[in-house]
Amino acid sequence: MLTRLLSIAGIFACFPFSAVAAPQNIILFFVDDMGWTDMACTGSDLYETPHIDTLAKNGVRFTSGYAACTVCSPTRAALMTGQSPARLHVTDFIPGHPFVNTPMTIPEWTRVLEKKHLTLPEMLKPHGYVSAHLGKWHLAHRDGYTTGGEDSADIDNYPQAHGFDINIGGCEKGAPPSYFWPYGKGKTLEEKKENTIFETLPRGDLSDEDREGEYLTDRLAAEAEVLLDQFAAEKKPFFMNFSFYNVHTPLMGRPDLVGKYTEKLKENPDRKHTNVKYAAMVESVDEAVGRVVAKLKEHEMWDDTLIVFTSDNGGLKPAATDNTPIRQGKGGIYEGGIRVPLIIRLPGEGATDKLCHRPSITMDIVPTIFEAIGRELPEEAAAVQDGISLIPFLKDPKAESPREDLYWHYPHYHSMGAQPYSAIRSGNWKLIEVIGQNQVELYDLGSDIHENNNLINSETATAKELYLKLVAWRKSVGAQMPKRNTLFNPNNPTGVQRNGKIREAAPLRD
């Protein structure tokens, strides 16, 4: 299903090298569900991430890096377009939770990245870039929204339909049934092949015996190495979107790494992070980053490659990780759901081994890339950009920001506890509105990063100013709003309905 749709040789023939006088390569490492403190350099006392830590020392680490949403698909859409999920109307993970008996009815949101939106690979194509996607996509129709019915493949909205020349592993699914080849469920090998997230990855020359025990992240890293060999040989500017399925559930790590962290935890069990399978998954991500960087250096492309490392939403708490000192996690309304790692390495004049405390968000990545490669955004894309270039902060992490505010809008319910909400961060102030519940909260993140002390009653002028900004922003981007559910019955359970049963959503532990 997800084989290369075009041969690499044929792709290169379509891109004249003369189109870019001084090619600037781009690699995005996009991790799934990686929390703000899930690296050694951001405070983990268990996970080992030497390659990512080294990347941070060679670039700038943003301490207030944010995902565009508390769940994945909206952030992925924002990454590809530079537009806010609220503007795109892609506001929940695809296809979303089938909640019933909710106080508010969710809007008819868009369950696919529509082709009318110009994507990053499409923006880069006129400048001679070949673009490759590896790993998770999750921006295609899923579960009954395709003409083929439930769980049908939506190849018309796979990465290659949105400007990518090469697609390895990207489809409508959000997670693999298994992280071990053939990445499916079942008792027999054939059953696993039939119930997999995709039919196969490249390397058809390998036998079943050769691939036994193969780990998905390792396979994607190997494919990235092959592509980098090809790009180096052809001397083509490239954009690689390395979009990990890790560290999303199911929690499965390589046995050698699980064993390593089991022993490490035995040596000192009094740690903040304690999930050995998750620790193994984090290290697999780190190993993949190291392999890609090594290959760049092997081909002398390290000093001609912009690298961005970030995550699509906060860490899954408490099942996978712990986001302390920030509150909640993936699917929540507080910092733990949206604050994520962000590292950017700009070759040449970029700052190194620096921290930047200026708030940044997913939509900033598109304009940052274009300024880094010295190109203008297409007029069509520039007109709807919701981010700013972070290049000034890469050169001087203390540079003044041209932007005052960041915004979020999630008009949905989530099984991890989120209710429909909008939020604004302005300086250190953060205001959250839980829509339809007469609930507005105000926090000073400078002194209260865990969002414990709601100042809504004491800082009324600030709260009013931010709330008016939030309302104006929602109107400016055409944000879809939930409405009161006239059929809501408070005496009946509210939750996710599957197979005729309702599973009530438990509030996310703080």
What CATH number is attached to the domain comprising 135? 3.40.720.10
Q: Which residues pair with 61 in a beta bridge?
A: 343, 355
Nearest Cα neighbor of 189 from 206, 208, 216 is 208
The answer to whether residue 371 sits within a structural domain is no
The answer to whether residue 502 sits within a structural domain is yes
- C-alpha 321/C-alpha 324 separation (Å) is 9
The answer to whether residue 256 sits within a structural domain is yes
Mind giving me the DSSP string for 246-310? TTSSS----HHHHHHHHHHHHH----S---HHHHHHHHHHHHHHHHHHHHHHHTT-GGGEEEEEE
The answer to whether residue 136 sits within a structural domain is yes
Q: Give residue 474's domain range.
A: 404-510
Which pLDDT score is estimated for 22?
32
Which pLDDT score is estimated for 147?
41
Per run of 10 residues, the mean pLDDT along the chain (length 510 residues) is 39 36 78 98 97 97 98 98 98 94 96 97 97 96 54 82 96 94 91 80 79 95 97 94 98 98 96 97 98 98 96 96 97 97 91 94 97 95 97 94 96 92 98 96 98 98 98 98 95 86 69
**Long-range contacts, stretch 428-433, CB < 8 angstroms, 24+ apart:** 429/462, 429/466, 430/335, 431/463, 431/466, 431/467, 431/470, 432/333, 432/334, 433/467, 433/470
Q: Are 38 and 47 in contact (CB under 8 A)?
A: yes
Six-digit token string for 15: 């891109």
State which of 305, 325, 344 marks the end of a domain.
305
Q: Are 70 and 313 in contact (CB under 8 A)?
A: yes
Which pLDDT score is estimated for 8?
37
Six-digit token string for 409: 């809008």
The answer to whether residue 80 sits within a structural domain is no
Residue 305 sits at φ, ψ, to 5 deg, of -135, 125
State which of 305, 340, 358 marks the end of a domain.
305
Residues 160 and 289 in one domain: yes
The answer to whether residue 456 sits within a structural domain is yes
State which of 258, 278, 305 marks the end of a domain.
305
Residues 288 and 416 in one domain: no
**CATH number for the domain harbouring residue 456:** 3.30.1120.10
Six-digit token string for 334: 């507080």
- C-alpha 291/C-alpha 312 separation (Å) is 22
Which pLDDT score is estimated for 236?
87
Name the 3-class secondary structure at 494.
coil
Beta strands at 483-484 and 439-444: parallel, antiparallel or unpaired:
unpaired
Residues 173 and 299 in one domain: yes
Rounded CA Rg of the chain: 22
Residues 149 and 37 in one domain: yes
Which pLDDT score is estimated for 509?
58
Q: Model-level pTM greater than 0.85?
A: yes
Count of domains for the chain: 2
The answer to whether residue 399 sits within a structural domain is no
The answer to whether residue 74 sits within a structural domain is no
